Chain A
Amino acid sequence: MLAPRVAIALPEVKPFEFRNPVRARHVIVLLFVLAFPWFATPFLTFQIGGQALVLGLIALSLTFLGGYGGMVSLAQMTVAGIAGYSFAILGPPASADAAGISLGAPWWVAVIGAIAIAVLSAVFIGWLSVRTEGIYTIMITLAVGVAFYYLCLQNYSIFNGFQGFQRIQAPTVFGIHWKQPLPFYYLALFWALAGYLFVKYLLRAPFGIALQGIRDNPRRMNALGFNVTAHRIAAYAVAGTIAAVGGVLFAWYNGLITPGSVGTSWMINILIIAVLGGMSHPVGPFLGAIVFVLLQTFAIDVVDRERFNLVIGGVFLAIVLFSPDGLLGWWARIKSRFLLVNRGGVR
Chain B
Amino acid sequence: MKQGKRTFVRSMVGVAVATAFAGASLAQSGQPVKIGLLATLEGPFAAGGADGMRGAELAIKQKNGMAGGRKIELIKASSDAKPDVAVNATRKLVEQDKVDIMVGPLSGGEGIAVKEYSKTQPNITFINGSSGAQATTLVNPSPNFFRFNTEGAQWMVGLGKAALDKGYKRVMLISEDYAFPYSQVQGFMSEYCRLGGKVPVKAWVPLGGKDYASVIARIPKDVDALLVILGGADAVNFLNQYEAAGGDKPIVGGSITVSQDILNYKGKRRDSLVGTIAGAPIADAYDHPDFKAFVADYQKNYPVSAGGYPSPSLFALVYYINMKAALDGLDAVKGDLSGGQAKYREALAKMTLKTPVGDVKLDANRQAIGTTFITEVVKDAKGNLFNRVLRKVDGVDQLLGMKKEDFKMGSRDEPNCP
Contact = CB atoms under 8 A, between A and B. Distances in A.
Interface of A: 39-44, 46-47, 51, 96-97, 150, 153-154, 156, 161-163, 166-167, 254-256, 258, 260-261, 265, 294, 296-298, 300-306, 308-309
A254 B84 contact: yes
A39 B19 contact: yes
Given A41-B19, A260-B84, 9 more contacts: A41-B22, A43-B92, A96-B140, A162-B207, A166-B109, A256-B87, A261-B82, A298-B11, A300-B77
Interface in B76-119: 76-78, 80-85, 87-88, 91-92, 95-96, 109, 112-113, 116-117
B178 interface: yes
Contacts of B87: 254-256
Contact of B16 (A39, A297, A306): A39
Given A162-B109, A304-B1, A309-B42, A96 B135 contact: yes
A73 to B, nearest CB: 22
Contacts of A261: 82, 84
B5 A40 contact: no
B4 A303 contact: yes
Nearest to A308: B78
Contacts of A46: 91, 95
Nearest to B208: A153
Contacts of A154: 177, 206
Contact of B139 (A39, A42, A96, A306): A96
B78 A305 contact: yes
B412 interface: yes
Nearest to B6: A301
Contact of A167 (B12, B15, B92, B116): B116
Nearest to B3: A301
Q: Label chain A's interface by main secondary structure.
A: helix
A43 B109 contact: no
Contact of A301 (B8, B19, B116): B8
Contacts of A41: 19, 22-23, 95-96
Contact of B179 (A163, A254, A305): A163
A301 B41 contact: no
Shortest Cβ-Cβ A-B pairs, 3 listed? A43-B95, A162-B178, A260-B82
A258 B77 CA distance: 21
B8 A44 contact: no
A162 B96 CA distance: 30
Nearest to A166: B112
Contacts of B116: 166-167, 255-256
B5 A301 contact: yes
A298 B12 contact: yes
Size class of B's contact patch?
Answer: 35 or more
B82 A301 contact: no
B8 A163 contact: no
A260 B84 CA distance: 8
Interface in B42-68: 42, 50, 53
Interface string B8-39: 10011001100100110000000000000000
29 contacts: A41-B22, A44-B15, A46-B91, A47-B88, A47-B95, A47-B96, A96-B135, A97-B135, A156-B412, A162-B207, A254-B83, A256-B83, A256-B113, A258-B84, A260-B81, A260-B84, A265-B80, A294-B12, A296-B88, A298-B8, A298-B12, A300-B77, A301-B8, A302-B1, A302-B5, A303-B4, A305-B41, A305-B53, A305-B78
Contacts of B80: 265
A267 to B, nearest CB: 14
B372 to A, nearest CB: 24
Contacts of A163: 109, 112, 178-179
A300 B78 contact: yes
B78 to A, nearest CB: 6
Nearest to B81: A260
A308 B77 CA distance: 10
Contact of B206 (A44, A153, A254, A294): A153
A294 B96 CA distance: 12
A44 B19 contact: yes
A345 B409 CA distance: 61
A313 to B, nearest CB: 12
A298 B82 CA distance: 18
Interface string B372-411: 0000000000000000000000000000000000000101
A183 B368 CA distance: 38
Contacts of A51: 88
A305 B135 CA distance: 30
Contacts of A260: 81-85, 109
A43 B50 contact: no
